[in-house]
Structure 1
Amino acid sequence: MIYLVEPFGGSIRRQSPHTPHVFWDDAGLTRGDGIFETVLVRGGEAKNLQKHLARFARSAAALELPEPVGEQWARVTAEAVADYCRERAQDPAKIEAKCVWTMTRGRETTGVPTAWLTVRPIPADVLAQREQGVKVVTTPRGYTVEPDVEWLGAEAKTLNYAATMAALRWARGKGADDVIYIERGTERVLEGSTSSVIMVKKGQRLRTPAPGPGILAGTTQAAVFDYATKQGWKCKEKDIALGELYGTESVWLVSSTRICARVTELNGKTLPAPDNEAEIRELITKALN
C-alpha cells in the first residue's frame, strides 16, 4: 500500500506499487538525503502515533526539511491502514503491519521535497525475534559523534543507512542477529542498529542510555518508560557500561515493529532467561497498546 504525500500539507493520493513514483535525481536515492519513521500497525490503527509525529518533526528540523503537517500524516496513515485492512478482507483486530513515512530533499531539478507512505507486512524474521530473542555482538560505530558538530544531524532518523546495513551483515557473518553500538575506549552502551537498549534490574528498575550524540531518542522506549512509571517501575536514562549488561536481570532491544526482543547471547556469552521474562514482555506490549 503506497500513498504519495504533498509535503506542505497538500493533497494525498494512492499510488500503484507497480508504477514508479521517485525520479532518478531524487536526493533520497542519490545521497540518502532524507528522513523516515516506522510505525507499528496493530488492531487496525497506528500505535504510538504522537511520539512518531514528534520525532518525524525533529528529524525534519535537523535536516532543514519542511515541517511535516501532523494532521496530514495522521490522516493519510489512517486512510492507508484502513485500505490495507480492507483489501485483506480480515478482521482489523487480527492484522499487524508496519507503516513507513519517508521524506527526501527531492529532485535536484525542482528542489521540491518528495514524501510518501507505505504499509507492508512485518517480515517473518522480525516476528520470530520477538519470541526467540536475538544474539548480539557489540561494535564501535567506526566514527565519533561529537556534541558540538551541529551539522551531523545525529538526532535525525535519516535514510543514510548504508553503515547500519554493513554492521548487520558483519554481525550475521559472526552468527549473530544484531549489534549493539558501544563508544570506543569507554565501552559505554549506545543503541542497537535499529533499536533502543533497555536494561532490566532487580527491584523493578529499567535503565536505558540517555539520548544524545550517537543515541537517537526511541519512541518505543519512551512509551515503555511512560507506562512502566505509572505501574510503579523506576525508570531512568543514564550511562550504561557494557559490563553491566552481563550481570543484569535481562537486556532487551525495543523498536516499533519488533516491539521487543530479549538479548539471549551477548558477544558469545549466554544471557539466561529471567524469571520475570513474561512480565517484561507484557509490560512492553501493553505500553504500545
Structure 2
Amino acid sequence: MFLLLVDPVTGETSPAALDSPLLAADDLAAIRGDGVFEAALLRDGEIRALEMHLARFANSARLLDLPGTSREVWEPALLQAATEAPDPGGDRVIRWFLSRGREGTGLLHGWIMVGMVPQSTLEMRRNGITAVTLTRGVPAGLAHEAPWLLIGVKSLSYAGALAATRFAKGRGADEAIFLTTDGFVLEAPLANVVLAQGDTLVTPDPALGLLHGTTQRFLFDRAGAAGWECRYARVRREELFSADGVWLVSSTRMAVPVHTINGTSLPTRPGIHRVMDELIN
C-alpha cells in the first residue's frame, strides 16, 4: 500500500509510511465521518474515468459545504501517486480522501492511497455473487426532498452500507441490493445495479436516490458506442428476476454477475457475461 499526503489548499504532497501518524484523535473524519472520498481503478498506470471521478468528488464536497476539491490540486497529486506507487502487476485501486479536519480549525486534511484490488473482489468478478433485497426505508425520490440526508453523496460515513452487507452475509448471501419502500431498485451498498433486457442495458435512475456511478457511466458510454441502447429507469423489484443478466458495477468490482437473489436462481442469456466483460474491460 502506498500513501501520499496532500494539502488540499496548497497542493503540497509528501509520501508517508502507512504506520505514520495521519489523523488527530479529534479529526472530524474519524469522529464524525465528515468528509468525502473517491475510488478509481488503476490499470496499467492509467486512472480509469478520472474526469468523472474528479467531478463527483467535487460535487460530493459541494453538498457537504466542504471546500478543498480543486482540480489543480488533486489531479497532479493523483497522477503522482499513480506513478510513484509500486506496481507489482494487476489491477490496483486508487482512493483519495478529504476531511474537514479538526473541529473549529478550518484546516482541511487530504490523502491518497494506492493498493491492489483485493483477491476476494477478483473472485467475485470470476464467480459471481448471491444477493438479497433489503429496504432502504425511504420512498423513491427522497434525495430531492431531503438533500441533507446526503443520499447520492460519496461521504466517509459508510457504516450503514457496511452494516447492510454484513446483514446480507448473515442471511447467507454475498451482498445486498437496496429497494425503496415503494418497490423500486436502488443500488448495492458499494455498487450500482445494471440489468440487460434484450439489447438494452438498464440502471436505476439516480433521481430515485442513489449514487450516480462512474463505472456505470463508463460502461454506458462503451455500450452505446457498440450499439446497445442504454437507459436510466424506474426498475421494479420484479424486473431483477426476468432480466437477461444482472450485475453489480463499481470501479474495483467492474461488472460482477448476480446469479441468485433471495434464494432464487436468475435466468441468464447464454454468453451475456462474456459480452459484459468485453464492454467494461
Q: TM-score range by the shorter chain?
A: over 0.9
Aligned runs of 1:139-154 on 2, under 5 Å? 139-143=134-138, 145-154=142-151
Give the alignment's TM-score, normalised by structure 1.
Answer: 0.92
Preserved CA contact (<8 Å) 1:155 1:213? no
2:152 and 2:68 mapped to 1: Cα distance?
Answer: 15
Correspondence 1:258 to 2:232:
no
Correspondence 1:279 to 2:280:
no
User: Residue by residue, what CA displacement relative to the aligned partner does 1:127-183 show, whole Å, maximum 9, x if unpaired?
Assistant: 100011110000011355352223222231011111111111110111111111001
SS at match of 1:207: strand
Preserved CA contact (<8 Å) 1:99 1:118? yes
Correspondence 1:178 to 2:178:
no
How far is the alpha carbon of 1:84 from its aligned partner?
1.7
Partner of 1:243: 238
2:170 and 2:79 mapped to 1: Cα distance?
Answer: 39
Partner of 2:183: 187
SS at match of 2:202: strand
1:146 and 1:272 mapped to 2: Cα distance?
Answer: 32
Aligned runs of 1:161-240 on 2, under 5 Å? 161-184=158-181, 186-202=182-198, 204-240=199-235
Correspondence 1:78 to 2:79:
yes
Partner of 2:65: 64
1:248 and 1:18 mapped to 2: Cα distance?
Answer: 47
Correspondence 1:102 to 2:103:
no
1:274 and 1:122 mapped to 2: Cα distance?
Answer: 28
Structure 2 residue identity aligned to 1:147? H
Preserved CA contact (<8 Å) 1:253 1:263? yes
Preserved CA contact (<8 Å) 2:202 2:232? yes
2:126 and 2:144 mapped to 1: Cα distance?
Answer: 37
How far is the alpha carbon of 1:8 from its aligned partner?
1.7
Structure 2 residue identity aligned to 1:45? E
Change in 2 beyond 3 A, CA 1:159/1:142: same
Correspondence 1:158 to 2:155:
yes
Give the alignment's TM-score, normalised by structure 2.
Answer: 0.94
Change in 2 beyond 3 A, CA 1:274/1:9: farther
SS at match of 1:192: coil
User: Residue by residue, what CA displacement relative to the aligned partner does 1:80-123 show, whole Å, maximum 9, x if unpaired?
Assistant: 122223xx5x4xxx332111111111101522111111001111
How far is the alpha carbon of 1:18 from its aligned partner?
1.4
How far is the alpha carbon of 1:12 from its aligned partner?
1.1
SS at match of 1:75: helix
Percent identity over paired residues: 37
Structure 2 residue identity aligned to 1:181? F
2:99 and 2:4 mapped to 1: Cα distance?
Answer: 15
Aligned length: 277
SS at match of 1:280: helix
Change in 2 beyond 3 A, CA 1:274/1:213: closer
2:10 and 2:238 mapped to 1: Cα distance?
Answer: 48
2:159 and 2:174 mapped to 1: Cα distance?
Answer: 17
1:233 and 1:73 mapped to 2: Cα distance?
Answer: 34
Preserved CA contact (<8 Å) 1:25 1:109? no
1:264 and 1:134 mapped to 2: Cα distance?
Answer: 6
Preserved CA contact (<8 Å) 1:155 1:212? no
Preserved CA contact (<8 Å) 1:137 1:178? yes
Preserved CA contact (<8 Å) 1:44 1:95? no
2:267 and 2:253 mapped to 1: Cα distance?
Answer: 21
Partner of 1:130: 125
User: Residue by residue, what CA displacement relative to the aligned partner does 1:205-249 show, whole Å, maximum 9, x if unpaired?
Assistant: 010111125211000001111111111110000100010110110
2:81 and 2:225 mapped to 1: Cα distance?
Answer: 33
Structure 2 residue identity aligned to 1:171? A
